[in-house]
Amino acid sequence: MDQSPSNIQLIFALKTAVAAPILGAFLIPFANKISVAARNTLAVALGLVTFISAAWLLPGTISGLAINYSIAFPLGFDFILSADMLSVFMAVISSFVSSLILIYSIDYISHYENQTEYYTMVVLFLGSMMGLVFSANLLWMYVFWELTAFASWRLVGFFRSDRDVLKANKTFLVTVFGALCMLAGILLVYFDKGCIDMRLLRGENISNVAAFLILTGILAKSATLPFSTWLPDAGVAPSTVTALLHAAVLVKIGVYAYARIFGVTFVAAPEFSQAVLWIAGASAIVSAAAALVEKDIKRIIAYSTVSQIAFIFLGLASGNRVAFIGGLLYILMHSVAKGGLFLCAGIIEQKTHNKDITKMGGLFKTMPITGVSFALCSLSVMGIPPFGGFFSKFLVFKGATQNGTLGVILMFLAGAIMTLLYLSRMFYLVFMGQEKPDSPREGSIVMVASVLALALIGLSLGALIYYPSYYVDLLTNQLGVNLQ
């Protein structure tokens, strides 16, 4: 291993990105003993340290440096952290959006109970995500996978009513069922190959049984049919939690695992990828149709998440390098835009004390910044140029049409049209029309600034990927993905 000063710094950054949020989460209750301000400051600082550490790795991975850290354990279950373009890409996205959510939370949850547990679980959730994306050992990926399930269980049940606890238990049971199936698939790989170090398994074939067991865990965590019902129900949680689960971290774990396991590591049978495409296509249409008739603002955005995750699977499973990179860029664009939509919904819900979009209207006149932010994020999710969402969706469709089945492509085209319809409907009912006599004013400066920042980032990212072929070459060459 290269022990040059620069590489030592990168390994330190890699360890910090994982250790700081996981260990720091347990310091938050002690900081609360000092003061509320100390607790909030520590939580935000841990988010920012994680983001800075992940971003520090970016130049090294772009230049092709090997950044690895390992601790030996018996039977090949070594704890291995490895940074490449894919893991750093996911870590930077997740930690950035999570940090903004933590900043937004300072005002948003200031009048709720259980605040100390909330910050502890959000930071632990972030740390678990960092451990998962940097794990090069399948077993340790599973361990961090389950840690995210525990943290999300506590966060979804934040308000502690019987209904909230029921929804939290549903989230936990569905995702843990999938995770146990995934564990069975990992064990099959171990018994077959005698190894679960993904760096050593690159290019190896994986049996259909093991592949479908692992896929079950991925579909459950990413809220894809037939496991999608837990995600809209998780809307009982605070909007910051739904933003974290839907946009920044939880459902992205599934698509990351698919990209890592089936895009970079193993070679699966062609029928496996075809099955994923058909499942994703069905998920895109069914969830988009549900969003068209739903009235609850957070459930609409949740159904939208299920639909958009399917587009990411379309990119990753098409077997085409352009579509694959489009899927990765889709993760970035969706994280930013959907995070903004959920945080906008949080402002709206907190100010109107209402989630029913048919009982709103005219809010643009009294909440113009929130309205503009909501519109910009919606346009990115729709895939309207020049937003970043347009370029990612374009790459996905461009690559998928070269390798995909016509029926699958038509399903996703229908899903894209429905995306435009349900987001337009939601914006019109909430922000347009007659102003209500008791229409609220804007949220706090911190909350409004957070959603505006995400909206403007979504717009500016369109300029950054105006030449998408650069990113296709960069990411595929660095990752070494075996695609056409």
Question: What is the spatial distance between Cα 5 and Cα 9, in angstroms, rounded to a whole number?
Answer: 6
Structure tokens at 259: 């990209």
Which pLDDT score is estimated for 300? 92
The range of the structural domain enclosing residue 333 comes to 270-484
88: in domain: no
Contact 289, 415 (CB under 8 A): no
368 Cβ neighbours under 8 A, 6+ residues apart: 442
DSSP 404: S
Question: What is the spatial distance between Cα 58 and Cα 10, in angstroms, rounded to a whole number?
Answer: 10
Instruction: Supply φ then ψ for residue 157, to 5 degrees.
Output: -90, 30
95 Cβ neighbours under 8 A, 6+ residues apart: 17, 47, 50, 51, 54, 126, 130
Which pLDDT score is estimated for 79? 93
Q: Is 65 helix (H, G, I), strand (E, B) or coil?
A: coil
| Residue 31 CA to its chain's centroid (Å) | 28
Entry pTM: 0.91
**Encoded amino acid at 68, one letter:** N
How far are the Cα atoms of 31, 119, 125 from residue 36, in angstroms, in the given order? 8, 11, 21
Question: What is the spatial distance between Cα 363 and Cα 138, in angstroms, rounded to a whole number?
Answer: 48
474: in domain: yes
Question: What is the spatial distance between Cα 118 and Cα 241, in angstroms, rounded to a whole number?
Answer: 9
Give the chain's end-to-end CA distance (angstroms, integer): 32
Structure tokens at 105: 């939370």
Which pLDDT score is estimated for 32? 94
Q: In b/e form, how buried is each residue of 133-143, taking b as 16+ CB within 10 angstroms? A: bbbbbbbbbbb
User: Tens of pLDDT along the chain (484 residues)?
Assistant: 445 556 888 899 999 999 999 999 999 999 999 999 999 999 999 999 999 999 999 888 888 777 899 998 887 788 999 998 889 989 998 899 899 889 989 988 888 888 999 999 999 999 999 999 999 999 999 999 999 989 989 988 888 888 888 988 998 999 899 999 999 999 999 999 889 999 899 989 999 999 999 999 999 988 888 888 888 888 788 888 878 776 656 778 889 999 999 988 898 888 998 999 999 999 999 999 999 999 999 899 989 989 999 999 999 988 888 888 888 888 888 888 888 898 898 889 888 888 888 888 888 888 999 999 999 999 999 988 888 888 889 889 988 888 767 888 999 999 999 999 999 999 999 998 777 766 677 878 888 898 899 889 888 877 666 555 565 566 655 555 555 5
235: in domain: no
381: in domain: yes
206: in domain: no
Count the neighbouring beta carbons within 10 Å of the beta carbon of residue 397.
23
Question: What is the spatial distance between Cα 42 and Cα 71, in angstroms, rounded to a whole number?
Answer: 29
In 297-408 the beta strands, taken as DSSP E runs, fall at none
145: in domain: no
67: in domain: no
483: in domain: yes
Q: Is 70 helix (H, G, I), strand (E, B) or coil?
A: strand
Which pLDDT score is estimated for 476? 58
Structure tokens at 324: 């694959």
Which burial class, exposed, middle or buried, applies to 100 when counting CB atoms under 10 A from its CB (0-12, 13-18, 19+)? buried
- What is the total count of domains within the chain? 1
Structure tokens at 56: 């520090």
Contact 276, 317 (CB under 8 A): yes
